[in-house]
Amino acid sequence: MLPLSFREFCRFQGHQPILYGPEKSVTEAFFQKFLNQGGYPELIGLEDQALHVAYLQEYYNTMLLRDILEYHQLSNFQYLRALFRLAASSIAQPISVRRFFNQLKSMGYAVGLNTLYEVMNHAEDAFLFKRIRRFDNSSSKSEKSDKKIYWLDNGLLRALIGSTEAKGTLLENTFFPPPLSAIWLDVSAAYFLLFRSVS
């Protein structure tokens, strides 16, 4: 199941997000919470942060086991957790699968480069994250360029790599270009302006 967009996150809790007026402060508070905790509906309202993180880690384990390992019948999976932690630590940075390959090799994991390409595609199919190409007027240059990784939920991301004070990184991850579906399209650029007024 996909996490909620920010507008859905607000409406789920009975709030209509607005940019102006007396309710703006409420929208700002919801946005800060959404930015840091993500949008899985089952966890909205859960105030115990340790329990919140534990549930998100369980979500991740389920996605890893059921949607990637079992569905694609992978046998050599010892490297997967290390691979996805590398991906989680590379938010909004240009990355290449070959670089991950070299990093895993230096960590002692034996896995083929082609296998890593396949596994990264599997992770996208499981809605764990998306990889976005750099725009270029030349389609061949765009295809060959390193991609940026964006996770589909900030809460899940923070549950994997721990708390981070990098608001800019979380913000960019929240507003990554939505190639997958229209679920993020209702989060307009206006909320970027809203966030700037919060900090």
pLDDT digits over 74-119, tens only?
Answer: 887 889 999 999 998 888 788 889 999 999 999 999 899 999 999 9
pLDDT digits (tens, 9 = 90+) for 40-81: 989 988 888 889 989 999 999 999 999 999 999 988 788 999
DSSP 182: G
Residues 63, 128: Cα–Cα separation, whole Å = 8
pLDDT band at 161 (very low <50, low <70, confident <90, very high): confident
Residues 30, 181: Cα–Cα separation, whole Å = 23
pLDDT band at 20 (very low <50, low <70, confident <90, very high): confident
Inform me whether the pLDDT recorded for 188 exceeds 50: no
pTM, 2 dp? 0.76
